[in-house]
Amino acid sequence: MKRNAPAFRVALLKILSALLLISCGQKQEAGAPSQPEQASPEQDKGIGRVREIHLGPIDPALAEKGKVIFTAKCSACHKLEGRYAGPPLGTVTKRRTPEFILNMILNPSEMTQKDPVAQRLLAEYLTPMTPQNLSEDDAKAVLEYLRQAAQ
């Protein structure tokens, strides 16, 4: 019997992501085997030059700058609410670490190849996020806009 291999693999990945989501939603029982090799989306800092950042209160002027950049460079694929070519970003700061978001903006190709959460997103959206060549400062401005949007 021959299977349609790529479609089969995508289906399998979708099932695995669904299982992962379900298992992340449940509190681990004491004594239950843990899976340290599986990075939890809540802690995943992603892969790239951004290792650790500390955020202060939201800076409205920086968020305004980020909004302009978002409209120019991200809105072709992302909306705040609702799926588009990419995931909705209005509450992304609630499901991802700031480091993950910055690394995704600055280093999307490596992220979708090596980071387990980003790999799962690529399997779901089937379109690679193309690098937008933002400076780190511009990426931080977009992050500020997304933090403000999530309030």
Nearer to ligand HEC, 47 or 92 (CB): 92
Instruction: Report the half-sphere exposure of 144 (CA within 13 A, side-chain side).
Output: 22
Site string for ligand HEC, 74-113 (x = CB under 6 A): x-xxx------xxx-x--x---x----x--xx--x---x-
Pick the binder of ligand HEC from 50, 62, 63, 129 (CB under 6 A). Answer: 129
Do residues 86 and 78 make contact, with C-beta atoms less than 8 angstroms apart? yes
Pick the binder of ligand HEC from 63, 141, 142, 149 (CB under 6 A). Answer: 142
Stretch that binds ligand HEC, among 3-11, 42-50, 54-62, 123-131 (CB under 6 A): 123-131
CA separation for the pair 102, 8 (Å, rounded): 32
The verdict on 131 binding ligand HEC (CB under 6 A) reads no
Q: What contacts 99, CB < 8 A, 6 or more positions away?
A: 45, 46, 50, 51, 52, 53
Site string for ligand HEC, 33-72 (x = CB under 6 A): ----------------------------------------
Do residues 106 and 138 make contact, with C-beta atoms less than 8 angstroms apart? no
Contacts by 35-40 with C-beta closer than 8 Å and gap 24+?
A: 38/116, 39/115, 39/116, 39/117
Positions in the binding site for ligand HEC (CB under 6 A)? 73-74, 76-78, 85-87, 89, 92, 96, 101, 104-105, 108, 112, 118, 121-122, 125, 127-130, 132, 134, 142
